[in-house]
Amino acid sequence: MTVYLDHAATSPVHPLVVEAVLDQLGRTGNASSLHDAGRAARRVVEESREVLAARLGARPSEVVLTSGGTEADNLALKGLYWARSGADPRRRRVLVSGVEHHAVLDPAVWLAERCGAELVVLPVDAVGRVDLDALEAELTAHADRTALVSVMWANNEVGTVQPLAGVVELAHRHGVPVHADAVQAVGQLPVDFAASGLDAMTVSGHKIGAPVGTGALLARRELPLAPLTHGGGQERGVRSGTVDVVGARALALAVDLAVRDRPEHARRVGALRDRLLAAVQEAVPDAVVRGAAAGERLPANAHLTFPGCEGDALLYLLDSRGIRCSTGSACRAGVPQPSHVLLAMGVPDREARGALRFSLGRTSSDDDVAALAAVLPEVVERARAAGRV
């Protein structure tokens, strides 16, 4: 039996999305061409854009299609920084939380190393929630020198939902735009771009049943963005390149299904997550749950640390028994170092190394939980024995 508990890394493509992709692959047309085939392709793109906007609380003109969450995050940070600092050279401060995905952290570091940005990493509390007092202090002292703030909607590792309303209120009070990576939030939490007050927001398809390589940046029309790529001027002139018609259709359908099914999906996986946590803690009583309480975290997320274990050892031992999970972000898999998220939360280095993330999705079931509970005690004991050698 194979058990897949790594939906936060990528989730199976929804069968209806597979059908739509296969149908669209049988059609030819560049969405920028003026003949019949091109106009048909453009119609698919614009109808997909309208669906995305409707389901995510945006206007169609605010949806910039990208190749995924990483590109969208890079466009938000670099595009905003270059536009804002170019208009006012004093605006060089970039504020991000200490628990951001590397798709946000690494561009911010790059801007500091290559473009003269002043990077400010905002502290978080013990559950990974950004410190609003620290944000307010930074903005009060340096608002006229701040280019942007980026704080994720919900953390991809420990599942903690961030106080975005407070972040937006503080930043806008000082005239600073806010970006949020909402990759993990869509399909699990109510996500409304307009209601959130955000200036830019990242979404990704492969976490919610679309293929890898699909995503979008939602950006207010009045938001200044410098392009990362130059060419044909597609996507408001900030994302040149032939538009991926197949990807647009797949992303729109996946978001449509995820938002439509979200209330029932969140209820079901939230209850299943609670049963998983109970089963794990019964099997390994000293396992420590990380992240915020159930009502303040993603319903599909379960993150624990196992004292005396290395997370990689646990992962490989579970994998050998057919259990697929993660030690944290898949983008950093194989890197022998503790999670920056846990370290930012104040978890000691040694404890942070023993982390596992179990993330649930549309195909998850009670059988998966039972299979995990059955093998976990032996796996943890073997990992601890290996650590004592």
Catalytic center residues: 331
**52 and 253 in contact (C-beta within 8 Å)?**
no
- Distance between CA atoms of 361 and 270, rounded to whole angstroms? 10
- Distance between CA atoms of 175 and 194, rounded to whole angstroms? 17
How many contiguous H segments (helices) and E segments (strands) does the chain have? 12, 12
Helix axes 245-283 and 15-25, enclosed angle (nearest 10):
160
Interacting residues of 98 by C-beta distance below 8 A, sequence separation 6+? 121, 122, 123, 124, 340, 341, 344
CA distances, 43 to each of 40, 226, 230 (Å): 5, 27, 24
Q: Using CA of residue 48, residue 14, residue 322, residue 157, what is the dihedral sign?
A: positive
CA distances, 168 to each of 13, 114, 218, 226, 298 (Å): 33, 28, 16, 22, 20
Which alpha helices (H) appear in the chain, and where do they start and end? 15-25, 36-56, 69-87, 102-114, 132-142, 164-173, 193-196, 245-283, 311-320, 340-344, 349-352, 366-388
CA distances, 138 to each of 110, 167, 196, 359 (Å): 21, 12, 22, 34
In DSSP terms, which residues pair with 130 in a beta bridge?
124
Closest C-alpha among 182, 153, 185, 175 to residue 223: 175
